[in-house]
Amino acid sequence: MICRVLAILALYGACTAQTTVITGQVTDLSGQGAAAARVFIEPGLGGELVESKVDGEGRFRAEGPFQGGVGVFALAAGLGLSGEHLTLALGENCTPLQLVLGAQVAVSGTVLNEKGEPVPGARITRIALSRPSKVGIPLAKLAAFGVAEPKSDEKGKFRIEGLPEGATVAIKVGHPEYAQEAVDEITAGQDNVKVKMGRGVLIRGEVKSRQNQAPVSGSVVVLRNTQAPHDTSVGKTDGFGSYSLRLKPGVYLCQATAVGQTTAGWQKVTVSGELPEQTISLGLAGVGAIQGSIGDAVSGNPVEGVRIRLESGGNVAAMVRTNAKGEFRMAAAEGENILYFDATPGYLPPDPRAMRVSVQSGGAVELPGMWLVPLPTYKMQVVEEDEATPVPGAVITLLRPRQFGWLSTDENGWGEIRVVNLPQDGRVIGFAEHPTKAAGAVFALDRSATAGAKVKLMPYGSVAGVVVNEKGKPVADAVVGAAFPDSPVDNPLLLWRTVTDGEGRFRWDAVVPGVPQRCAVGGTGAQGESANFNLAPNETKDLGTLTVSGSAKEEGEGGGFKLAHWREEKPDCGAVSKRPGHPSLVVFCDQAAADLVIEGLDQALRAAKRTGWDAAVVVRGGYACKDAPLPVFSGTPPGAATSYLLNAEGAVTLRTFGLPPLRYLVSAP
């Protein structure tokens, strides 16, 4: 994100008139416009902060050469701040933002050195919200706008005001005599944060023009740690082209930019820590531009969101995506550059995947138009065991590429499958289920299936077994699953997964007959699997005892969400069904997957036409929303599984991953 913003900014004044428009409104919790609020836009860590005017109803509008990762945030005295992190294409008009300022809380703590002594004068240079929304607040840049930058006092004490109630934040702490330090996962309102700072390594360097070796003053130097949490340090050269800062030992990616000049991509440097000082000098080359457009080869329409990666001098230099018009533009160092075009959801891989482009300083290279071919639509008819009777309402789940959610067939048993990304071998593999019978099939479709394929459903078989350790003791909460025997070990085609109960037992009642598979126990260092098996329709097979060496148990998260009484919890959004005595399905996911899981589970409810069971989603780290078709909670899973089927009394009857087979839901008591 940072690299594309920094590189683009250096070029904007001379090479492009395209602008991006950001609009929105700042309100309080009652919905009233916050006229006294101040709105700021930060175009990347190295970009200059921009303040937008706010009218009497809290509305704002900002227009500029914003591209890549852009932070937008609002402040107001006595209220908790609010903001959003945007990923923008140049020239994009983004959806209007709604920034809500609520109750404010503070974070306070102490800055100490390696000896445990207080560090006075430490600056809180930046804070980052990770919940309820994600955005960085550059306190060091806000100082130029009259917003005081928090600092530690003589006792090392500091206090940060104006944080939103219920937020999770990270802070970045700087001091001229110490290496920058970051602390994350801080709960807003916490008053005992400890920041321990070390001297680190003093980095000195010069930034010069590669053309004439003249020092470049005012250039921005960014050094990003390649190790988590990927802390970033920013310096600026003085009138002699020199800069200095302190870093912790580690491997860093560095880049320098100035008006009309940039380094050839992000250069890798190692800060060993063997010496108290280290020199990192950088050379700047002239900057040109590369621009082009990408369209749909069938419709001729522009393709938005295609990601293009730029490499310069063997280093990654920028990453941009096409805008709504299918256009892209990026700054590039003079000389030879390579563009890489990433696979785009809904389309076949681009051809060519890479392109060499020679750039002149101050010039713009216009590439010929590129065209992407849409992925095919696969068609299949699901039929009964007699191979003639269509099955309307059959449910289809994709195993590869794995997608969360269900599709359903029409009144003639036909279904259409559209995938976002095509597997490398071009085959789509999935699972079809009967809407009312315990019957299913595994299918594989290649590109010839665009004309239609037939899938026959067969009665399920069942397998059961028990997992024990080397001492013969049952292993509870161990993940047990089955895959095709010949699928790659590093990328197995998983057919089903479940979790053992308290006595180490497992059972799976939706085994598709005629499909060879092997059952194995997962876990760090665990080894234990069954022989290959291939069930006949309605066959029940006891796999016996699977003995594992190593740890087969997946570690839980210390209690986790209270499943049995989930209807009594207060959701983050959505409404809880007040229907006692009904079975339910509770699915857990991370924040990044929350939108897809909520949409997919809602789709599954409608596809199954099942009104006798309820569903809920629980998001690790919380989920910020105003409304949802399902109740959404914050929490962590109580065990290794991510999906739990509960009976009417709240007892768990099935532990699995993703959506369970329909036969379990249809037969839920």
Q: Which residues, 6 or more positions from 667, have their beta carbon under 8 angstroms from its beta carbon?
A: 438
pLDDT at residue number 401: 86
The 3-state DSSP class for residue 312 equals strand
CA-based nearest residue to 142, from 36, 71, 245: 71
Q: Strands 540-547, 461-468: parallel, antiparallel or unpaired by DSSP?
A: parallel
* Cβ atoms of 536 and 595 closer than 8 Å: no
* Cβ atoms of 325 and 250 closer than 8 Å: no
Residues of the chain where predicted confidence (pLDDT) is lower than 70:
1-18, 229, 449, 489-490, 523-530, 550-559, 578-580, 608-612, 624, 626, 666-669
pLDDT at residue number 526: 46
The 3-state DSSP class for residue 575 equals coil
- The per-residue pLDDT of the chain, averaged, comes to 86
**CA 358 – CA 312 distance, rounded (Å):** 10
What dotted CATH number matches 461-547?
Answer: 2.60.40.1120
The yes-or-no answer to whether 104-196 and 566-666 have a common fold is: no
* Cβ atoms of 650 and 563 closer than 8 Å: yes
User: Would you state the torsion angle of the CA atoms of residues 646, 636, 640, 475, taken in this order, to the nearest 10 degrees?
Assistant: -90
* Cβ atoms of 270 and 321 closer than 8 Å: no
* Cβ atoms of 40 and 46 closer than 8 Å: no
Please report which helix (H) or strand (E) contains residue 604, including its range. Answer: helix 594-608
* Cis omega (within 30 of 0) for bond into 215: no
pTM across the whole model = 0.64
**Hunting for tokens 């109740």 — which residue is that?**
631
Q: Which residues, 6 or more positions from 546, have their beta carbon under 8 angstroms from its beta carbon?
A: 465, 466, 467, 468, 480, 519, 521, 528, 529, 530
Residue 450, phi then psi, degrees to nearest 5: -65, -20
* Cβ atoms of 405 and 604 closer than 8 Å: yes
**CA 300 – CA 293 distance, rounded (Å):** 12
What dotted CATH number matches 378-459?
Answer: 2.60.40.1120
Q: How far is Cα of residue 16 from the mean position of the Cα atoms in its chain?
A: 31
Q: Where are the domains of the chain?
A: 2-101, 104-196, 378-459, 461-547, 566-666
H helices then E strands: how many in the chain?
4, 49
Instruction: State whether CATH 3.40.50.2300 applies to domain 566-666.
Output: no
User: Would you state the torsion angle of the CA atoms of residues 167, 170, 174, 178, taken in this order, to the nearest 10 degrees?
Assistant: 140
CATH topology of domain 104-196: Immunoglobulin-like (2.60.40)
Q: Which residues, 6 or more positions from 568, have their beta carbon under 8 angstroms from its beta carbon?
A: none
Q: Which residues, 6 or more positions from 59, have their beta carbon under 8 angstroms from its beta carbon?
A: 23, 24, 25, 26, 33
CA-based nearest residue to 460, from 483, 442, 486: 442
Buried b (16+ CB within 10 A) or exposed e, 458-497: bbbbbbebbbbbeeeebbbbbbbbbbbeebeeeebbbbbb
* Cβ atoms of 260 and 14 closer than 8 Å: yes
Residue 100, phi then psi, degrees to nearest 5: -105, 120
Token reading at 36: 């006294």
pLDDT at residue number 610: 59
CA-based nearest residue to 306, from 356, 355, 265, 348: 348
* Cis omega (within 30 of 0) for bond into 229: yes
CATH topology of domain 2-101: Immunoglobulin-like (2.60.40)
> What are the residues facing 136 on neighbouring strands?
128
* Cβ atoms of 657 and 644 closer than 8 Å: no
**CA 411 – CA 415 distance, rounded (Å):** 10
* Cβ atoms of 567 and 578 closer than 8 Å: yes
pLDDT at residue number 10: 34
- Residues 303, 306, 310, 314, CA torsion sign: negative
